[in-house]
Amino acid sequence: MTWSHEDGVRATAPVPAGGVLEVGCDESGSDGENLTGGNTDVFAHASVRLSVESAAAAVREIRDRIRSPAEEYKANHLLREKHRAVLEWLLAPAGPIHGQAHVHLIEKTFLVVDRAVDLLLGPGSADAAVLFRAGRREFGQERWQAFLAAANQLLRVRNDGEPEAPVAGFFREVDALRRARPRAAVSDVLDRLAAARPRADAYRAGVGDGPTLVPLLNPLLPAVVSTAAYWSAGGRPVRLVHDRQNMLTPERIAWIEETSRRAGVALAGLQLVEARRDARVQVADFLAGIARKIASDELNGRGDRPLTTLLRPYVDRASVWGDELSWAELVSADEERSPVP
* Sign of the CA dihedral with 248 first, then 249, 250, and 253 last: negative
Q: What is the mean pLDDT of residues 298-316?
A: 97
Q: What's the CA dihedral at 239, 240, 245, 246 to 10 degrees?
A: -30
Neighbours of 7 (CB within 10 A): 9
pLDDT at residue 337, as a whole number: 42
| Residue 322, C-beta contacts closer than 8 angstroms, at least 6 positions apart | 107, 109, 110, 113, 114, 128, 129, 132, 133
User: Is there a contact between 22 and 42 (Cβ–Cβ < 8 Å)?
Assistant: no
Mind listing the domains of the chain with CATH numbers?
21-106+216-330 (3.30.420), 109-208 (no CATH)
Res 192 pLDDT > 70: yes
Closest-CA residue to 224 (of 16, 44, 50)? 44
Interval 123-135: pLDDT, tens: 878 999 999 999 9
pLDDT at residue 341, as a whole number: 33
| Residue 115, C-beta contacts closer than 8 angstroms, at least 6 positions apart | 155, 216, 217
Length of the chain, in residues: 341
pLDDT at residue 12, as a whole number: 55
pTM here is 0.90
Res 299 pLDDT > 80: yes
Interval 201-232: pLDDT, tens: 999 988 855 555 667 888 999 999 999 999 99
Report d(CA 48, CA 285) in Å as an integer.
10
Per-residue confidence at 33, pLDDT binned at 50, 70, 90?
Answer: confident
Report d(CA 227, CA 234) in Å as an integer.
14
258: Cα within 13 Å, side-chain hemisphere: 7
- Helix extents (H) in the chain: 52-66, 75-79, 84-91, 108-121, 127-139, 141-155, 165-179, 184-194, 197-208, 220-231, 250-262, 279-299, 305-311, 324-330
pLDDT at residue 129, as a whole number: 95
pLDDT at residue 162, as a whole number: 78
Report d(CA 112, CA 34) in Å as an integer.
10
